[in-house]
Structure 1
Amino acid sequence: MPAAKLLMFLSLFGGKPGSAAALDNCVFLGEEEKNSLYEDGDVVIGGLFPLHYSPVSSLPTYNTKPTANMYKYFSSRALRWMQTMTFAIKEINQRSDLLPQLKLGFHIRDSCDDIPVSLRASLLLVNGQPESGSRAESCAALQRTLSPVIIGDAASGVSMALLRSLGSFHIPLVSYFASCSCLSNQREFPTFMRTMPSDAFQIKALAQLVSYFGWTWVGVIGVESDYARFAIQLFLQESVQYGVCSAYTHFYPVALSQQALDELLDVIQMASSKVIINISGESEMQSILREIQHRNITGLQWIASEAWATAKSLWEKFGDLLMGTLGFAIRRADVIPGLKQHLTSLSYIHESAFLAEFWEEMFNCHLNGSVNRHSHGVDNYFDRLPCKGTEELNDVYSPYSDVTQLRVSYNVYKAVYLVAHALQDMSNCTVGLGPFLNGTCADPKNFKPWQLIYYMKRANFSALGEKVNFDQNGDPNAYYDLMNWQRMPDGSLHLVKVGFYDASSPSGRTLVINGSVIQWPVGKQASRSVCSDSCPPGSRITRRKGEPICCFDCVPCAEGQVSNKTDSLECSRCSEDTWPNKARSLCIPKIIEFLSYHDLMGILLCVVCIFGACISLSFLIIFFTYKDTPLVRANNMELSFLLLVFLAVCFLVGLLFIGEPSDWL
């Protein structure tokens, strides 16, 4: 690996005593990299931050040695994360109750959000910082400056690459922004921890969010990376439980070419869904929004992943497209005391290439002797005026000095304190009762990285009033703020908290939303995004062959059947004493019709029945009175009596049909 001091690597991580350790000097191989931020200490904490991103594509000619990569953008937001790390370390060094006998230092490098660059920088961190600047250093001197732990990186894919390289040496890596659920695999990444919740929880929150607003037909896009692939795979699995389907799933490359943008935008325009979940970073989102603006596509409801849910820099050019955006943001610190002053007090900008470049970008000027003019392709560098040195950061807005949304910065702050508390627990170890072989303890000024990770896994502390602890996978408790992008009267962006997701809450109450304060892209209510309209009561769903479950037809219930809820899968038959209403949505009691004694027909029937019965009984009495006469005897007296009795009964039976029927009738 270029620029890695391989001899030092052998002496620190398992080289034989008679080989590298016996050498007086460790030779620096490759080109020396000077762009770093370093401060000495008893324990030097390494840091990796994506200060540059979006590489400029170039084709090597193979005629000359390839030049260093150039990048389009400088991230002042990432610079704030870096400065938060230096602030936290200086704050700890000033405390008397935490590591009073130990001074923390730092060694910070730019990862450029690029795996090769980040891997090279990490190897430089774990091999130490040259003090004299010469190419040959004392191995003992370098050993004092090596970083036994690294805070970084921001991207999940970069962090995975670092772990596969550094994990063999048991060097702990504490990420402040890598959220891929794949990193929770402790068998594959046993030395990984993070102050960023796993995507497994964010995806649960996203699935509940789209279900809450009735969006069952959503587009899902993501950058071609492990971060997005694992997240989208989890979302597709989780959304099934809520009846949510993806109208399309599309991955696009990190370096977005015009062809890739055209393919993505064609998919978005052709789909009927106006709700889009984008699992990506801020840089990729810039390119997508630029093309959407060019095509004049409006009315989209964006659902942001935590990577860009609070990226205010996107609002400056694409505010009209992002109004109403919803996204889950990681836990915010209301304030980190002293951080604002630390960020704006940059009296040493000439000493740091990173700060010098930020200053030039911020005020569009150049510093004498700056090494940054070719770092990211600035063509008009020498056309700029010299920096006066009297510029004030408080006079201009910059994501660097904006401390209203301290989320990732807060994660960096907690990561530093995680290492500090682990070192404190190591310092409190009692000889003979230690956790290592034969009850031994580790020396806080001379320990192995695997000894530090032991204490980090068991850390339990408070940071700015929040209880910080980790589960068996090295993940913190999952809590997200639901943010809504709203336009202020002056056109500026206002990130409004409209809800939250707390994974520690009981099931069914993990997601809380205040829908009345949400500002939507179009209108005053959430837009509809469904493949098929809901089937009303009185009908049932029939699936369309070969299409997602969210796409269906509605069929009316058959005769004698009803469905009393929306989107019923089947209809039920009514009982014998009930029948369906006209809408076939409810079984109602059958209507019983009967003749009443107060109705005309009832009165007529009653009169006829009584009159006929009286006539029959009259003849019966007459026949009984003259039963001994030859006429009666000749007409079969017994049969005549029987017929008259039954005839009277038949007339009286008609009375049973008058009045409301009862059980005994």
Structure 2
Amino acid sequence: MWPEQGWALLHLLLVASLSQAEEMVCKLREDPENPHISKDGDIMLGGMFSFHSSWKNRDDTYMHKPLSLQCTRLNFRAFQYAQAVLFSIKEINNSTDLLPGIKLGCKIYDTCGSIPRAVRMALAMVNGNEEVFVSSDAPCTRPAEIQTIMGETSSSLCRAIATVLGPFHLPMISHFATCACLSDKVKYPSFLRTIPSDYYQSRALAQLVRYFGWTWVGAVRTNADYGNYGMAIFTEAAEQLGICLEYSVAFFRTDPPEKIRQIINIIKHSTSKVIVTFLSHMDLDILIHEFSQYNLTGYQWVGTEAWIFDSQTAAMDTHHILDGAIGLFIPKAHVSGMKEFMLDVKPLNSSGNELFTEFWEGLFNCKFNQSDLSNENEKVCTGDEDITEIHNSFTDMSLMPIFNNVYKGVYAVAHALHNILGCNETCNSKVQLNPFTILQHIKNIRFKTKEGDEVYFNENGDPAAKYEIINWQPTQNGIVDFVTVGLYDASLPADRQMNIENKTLIWAQNSLQVPLSVCSEKCPPGTRKVLQKGKPVCCYDCIRCAEGEFSNITDSITCERCPSEFWSNEKRDACVKMEAEFLSYEEIMGCLLTAASLFGTCMTCLVAYIFFRYRKTPIVRANNAELSFLLLFSLTLCFLCSLTFIGQPSQWSCMLRHTAFGITFVLCISCVLGKTIVVLMAFRATLPGSNVMKWFGPVQQRLSVVGFTLIQVLICILWLTISPPFPFKNFREFKDKIIIECALGSAIGFWAVLGYIGLLALLCFFLAFLARKLPDNFNEAKFITFSMLIFCAVWITFIPAYVSSPGKFSVAVEIFAILASSFGLLICIFAPKCYIILLKPEKNTKKNMMGKGAPKTS
């Protein structure tokens, strides 16, 4: 029994009128719709194809009943699909294995590509067209005239038909409607198809575009369900892959020319060189015609199965606008015997209607009625024309994979009927066929055709999604060769779905170079992408990475920070280990300072040698030889301690350099301080009644030096115990260098060491300043004053120079201060004595030291 919804819709179309006679007749309110191609059989299949692709517009006044739709533009492709249905039925009827004893028939209607007409044809097939005589106790109902419907080609038509047929659960199997919307089983429960859904094709197209690096493309679509839904899915997938659409326009072949010209202007003024299309071949023909009028070439076309394998479209492209096009098509197929059957057009005449006459006249470009000849180039049809002499879209077999889809759809119905009727050697013809039962069996069938193709439907009524990647390659004779250059299989893992074969591809304008279509050039390593304001994400500027950052990939959106102890190279595409900077012996500055230190050490040793050799001379003995030798020893240590500042700092060198410097300098200043005090005491001892020398004799002198030095040793021990200096990698001074230096550890300890040295130096300077006017022959206070003046001046200027000097230069400043102060002490205190010892030996006498010799010289 029909569902209640079905009867409700059926009663809207049927009017039951009861006559006064004994018999009742159910009549259609409208004129009956007769099939355009029919074949008798025990079980009837329906078919719906657009034998005409357009119709004449009319203005309805609503004052009288509208006339029937007047169809125009004969479409030979639809005749091929109808022939595929007839071939399949004939093959099944001749088979002893499938539906034995059952003959399939068909009724095929022309929709003209019109949605209202398609719905009308569908309802005609459901409820029948002839008058029905019924008894007084029977309603105006009857079983469906057909069991399934094969077709339609257009997604929009299929949506309209499937919506109407859904409540009846009448199976509808399309061979070419790819709109993903038709996979919705809630809206279209009885719709199935033998071609993959655009859900997969759209994503495959996006992956294909991304594979060739096209991130800036234009999009043109048919303004119908096929184009709108397909392009919507493509746009979503493209965005996920980083592809941007510069424009997306839609049109339909019946649109006014002004709208087509607007689209042409948009494309002409665009910067993208790739056009992705979701167009029917009829809409594409119109667009290509406009392209040729404006002489627009050089665009790379990316197409769908609707036209990419269509030789008719290629033949119409006389300006070679589509040369090099690439796109997706269902895998090639071959059905043995189908081509020969399709080209045998005589059986189409069995329909006995005007369609065959129009088809024959269009096929052979002739007229049966001589009075209909419009010009002398047309000829009269004889009915015996040879189809082998013509070449048009009907004789073109390039769409055999689509014909195979029709073939598989008819066989799916046959296998479902075979199971329902329990066919073995014979079929149970008494089984009452129900469309719902047929639909359920079709959804669950799984079989192989004689060519080995496996046929089944998933839960959405779709087959497995597999595509061949087709490339248009023009030949020398001007014919396009459709070359398979790859495969796409949606059932495989994502990283293996697309497989481009190692073949030569031809691109737009017969180029062998992959065209470039980007809004912005790729950002090389060492830069990052910055989006341009107000533009899509594919439009950006390339900004060089900042210092210390890098990017080692193309089109990086960020620059990464280099790890610690690394810095970006000049190109900013990698990080290199930072140069470790410290004062080394290999560089010129280190060599000069080392030489100066060694020179000072040698000079001090030379002075010590001179003093030792002339130790018994009055000038040596008079100037406290013991303190002089101790001073020379400490100066030697001062010169040598500067060497600890040169070289890469280590834990031991950092502790040694500061402590050795502090102790040796205190030892040195202590000796100078002792010599100064001795001079003052000696002068006081020469005064009558003075006995001060007994308070600062040799023992006291030694104890004072040791005492002053021990205080510094104690400070250094505390410093090293609490917070000693340590090697430190300084990243703050320079961005691209590591300054390896000795951190002070405790700043208080460092400044305590310097402060103590400064305190002793000031004390020594003060005492020497007091003794500066004593007689020259009796003391060296004047030379000590000069030496302390130099010492203090050097270390006072050292502080700001040390603080402001970067990196290794601060170490150099410290070494320079050590050497300068050491040389100052050595030269000021010992140079005059060496001068007298070596060059003026006549002054090196006791008499001269006591002031009784030669007169003083100025």
Task: Indicate the larger mover: 547-556 or 609-618.
Answer: 609-618
More helix by share: 2
Deviation at 1:407, TM superposition (A): 1.9
Q: Give me the TM-score of the superposition, normalised by structure 1.
A: 0.85
Task: Indicate the larger mover: 177-186 or 387-396.
Answer: 387-396
Q: Alpha carbons of 1:631 and 1:263: their partners in 2 closer, same or farther (altered >3 Å)?
A: same
Residues of 1 paired with 2:294 and 2:471: CA distance? 25
Matched to 1:285, the amino acid is L
Aligned ranges for residues 147-546 of structure 1 at < 5 Å? 147-319=146-318, 320-333=320-333, 335-352=334-351, 353-367=354-368, 380=374, 384-428=378-422, 445-463=431-449, 464-514=451-501, 516-522=503-509, 523-546=511-534
The residue aligned with 1:105 is: 105
Deviation at 1:539, TM superposition (A): 1.7
Q: Alpha carbons of 1:588 and 1:444: their partners in 2 closer, same or farther (altered >3 Å)?
A: farther
Q: CA RMSD in A?
A: 3.9
Q: Is the 8 A contact 2:43 2:146 kept in 1?
A: yes
The residue aligned with 1:648 is: 640
The residue aligned with 2:731 is: none
Q: Alpha carbons of 1:196 and 1:242: their partners in 2 closer, same or farther (altered >3 Å)?
A: same
Task: Write out per-residue CA displacement over residues 210-233 of structure 1, whole angstroms, 9 at most, x where no aligned residue.
Answer: 111111111112122122221121
The residue aligned with 2:756 is: none
Residues of 1 paired with 2:171 and 2:12: CA distance? 15
Matched to 2:336, the amino acid is P
Task: Write out per-residue CA displacement over residues 480-499 of structure 1, whole angstroms, 9 at most, x where no aligned residue.
Answer: 11112221211112211111
Q: Is the 8 A contact 1:27 1:137 kept in 2?
A: no
Q: Alpha carbons of 1:515 and 1:50: their partners in 2 closer, same or farther (altered >3 Å)?
A: farther
Matched to 2:441, the amino acid is Y
Task: Write out per-residue CA displacement over residues 125-179 of structure 1, whole angstroms, 9 at most, x where no aligned residue.
Answer: 223465xxxx556899996781121111111111111122111111111111111
Q: Alpha carbons of 1:496 and 1:621: their partners in 2 closer, same or farther (altered >3 Å)?
A: same
Q: Is the 8 A contact 1:426 1:443 kept in 2?
A: no
Deviation at 1:57, TM superposition (A): 2.6
Q: Is the 8 A contact 2:582 2:647 kept in 1?
A: no
Task: Indicate the larger mover: 299-308 or 637-646.
Answer: 637-646
3-state SS of the aligned residue for 1:568? Answer: coil
Deviation at 1:619, TM superposition (A): 6.2
The residue aligned with 1:31 is: 31
Greater RCO (CA < 8 Å, at least 6 residues apart):
1
Residues of 2 paired with 1:497 and 1:456: CA distance? 32
Q: Is the 8 A contact 2:281 2:306 kept in 1?
A: yes
Residues of 1 paired with 2:261 and 2:608: CA distance? 105
Residues of 1 paired with 2:395 and 2:647: CA distance? 97
Deviation at 1:575, TM superposition (A): 3.4
Deviation at 1:253, TM superposition (A): 3.3
The residue aligned with 1:435 is: none
Task: Write out per-residue CA displacement over residues 90-133 of structure 1, whole angstroms, 9 at most, x where no aligned residue.
Answer: 11111111111422111111121211111111122223465xxx
Task: Write out per-residue CA displacement over residues 600-645 of structure 1, whole angstroms, 9 at most, x where no aligned residue.
Answer: 9887776655554455566678889979977555527656544433
Task: Indicate the larger mover: 53-62 or 503-512.
Answer: 53-62
Q: Alpha carbons of 1:344 and 1:317: their partners in 2 closer, same or farther (altered >3 Å)?
A: closer
Matched to 1:635, the amino acid is L
- Number of aligned positions between the proteins: 632
Q: Alpha carbons of 1:330 and 1:301: their partners in 2 closer, same or farther (altered >3 Å)?
A: same
3-state SS of the aligned residue for 2:163? Answer: helix
Deviation at 1:79, TM superposition (A): 0.9
Matched to 1:645, the amino acid is L
Deviation at 1:580, TM superposition (A): 2.4
Deviation at 1:383, TM superposition (A): 8.4
The residue aligned with 1:58 is: 58
Q: Alpha carbons of 1:555 and 1:652: their partners in 2 closer, same or farther (altered >3 Å)?
A: closer
Residues of 1 paired with 2:608 and 2:430: CA distance? 125
3-state SS of the aligned residue for 1:454? Answer: helix
Residues of 2 paired with 1:380 and 1:271: CA distance? 44
Residues of 2 paired with 1:595 and 1:635: CA distance? 35
Residues of 2 paired with 1:53 and 1:47: CA distance? 16
Q: Is the 8 A contact 2:183 2:462 kept in 1?
A: yes
Residues of 2 paired with 1:167 and 1:576: CA distance? 68
Q: Is the 8 A contact 1:215 1:244 kept in 2?
A: yes
Q: Percent identity?
A: 34
Residues of 2 paired with 1:326 and 1:23: CA distance? 65
Unaligned runs of 5+ in 2: 1-5, 650-737, 743-858
3-state SS of the aligned residue for 1:167? Answer: helix
Q: Alpha carbons of 1:574 and 1:367: their partners in 2 closer, same or farther (altered >3 Å)?
A: same
Q: Is the 8 A contact 2:15 2:26 kept in 1?
A: no
Task: Write out per-residue CA displacement over residues 18-55 of structure 1, whole angstroms, 9 at most, x where no aligned residue.
Answer: 99xx9875434422334521122221111111111022
Matched to 1:105, the amino acid is G
Q: Is the 8 A contact 1:579 1:589 kept in 2?
A: yes
Q: Alpha carbons of 1:200 and 1:46: their partners in 2 closer, same or farther (altered >3 Å)?
A: same
Q: Which has the larger radius of gyration?
A: 2
Task: Indicate the larger mover: 7-16 or 571-580.
Answer: 7-16
Matched to 2:454, the amino acid is K
Q: Is the 8 A contact 1:537 1:567 kept in 2?
A: yes
Deviation at 1:325, TM superposition (A): 1.4
The residue aligned with 1:579 is: 567
Residues of 1 paired with 2:456 and 2:468: CA distance? 19
Deviation at 1:359, TM superposition (A): 2.0
Unaligned runs of 5+ in 1: 1-5, 431-440
3-state SS of the aligned residue for 2:249? Answer: strand
3-state SS of the aligned residue for 2:400? Answer: coil
Q: Is the 8 A contact 2:93 2:104 kept in 1?
A: yes
Q: Is the 8 A contact 2:253 2:286 kept in 1?
A: no
Q: Is the 8 A contact 2:13 2:28 kept in 1?
A: no
The residue aligned with 1:437 is: none
Matched to 2:391, the amino acid is Y
Q: Is the 8 A contact 1:49 1:152 kept in 2?
A: yes
Q: Alpha carbons of 1:317 and 1:585: their partners in 2 closer, same or farther (altered >3 Å)?
A: same
Deviation at 1:442, TM superposition (A): 10
The residue aligned with 2:665 is: none
3-state SS of the aligned residue for 2:541? Answer: strand
Task: Indicate the larger mover: 575-584 or 63-72.
Answer: 63-72
Q: Is the 8 A contact 1:250 1:264 kept in 2?
A: yes
Q: Is the 8 A contact 2:52 2:73 kept in 1?
A: yes
3-state SS of the aligned residue for 1:298? Answer: coil
Q: Give me the TM-score of the superposition, normalised by structure 2.
A: 0.67
3-state SS of the aligned residue for 1:27? Answer: strand
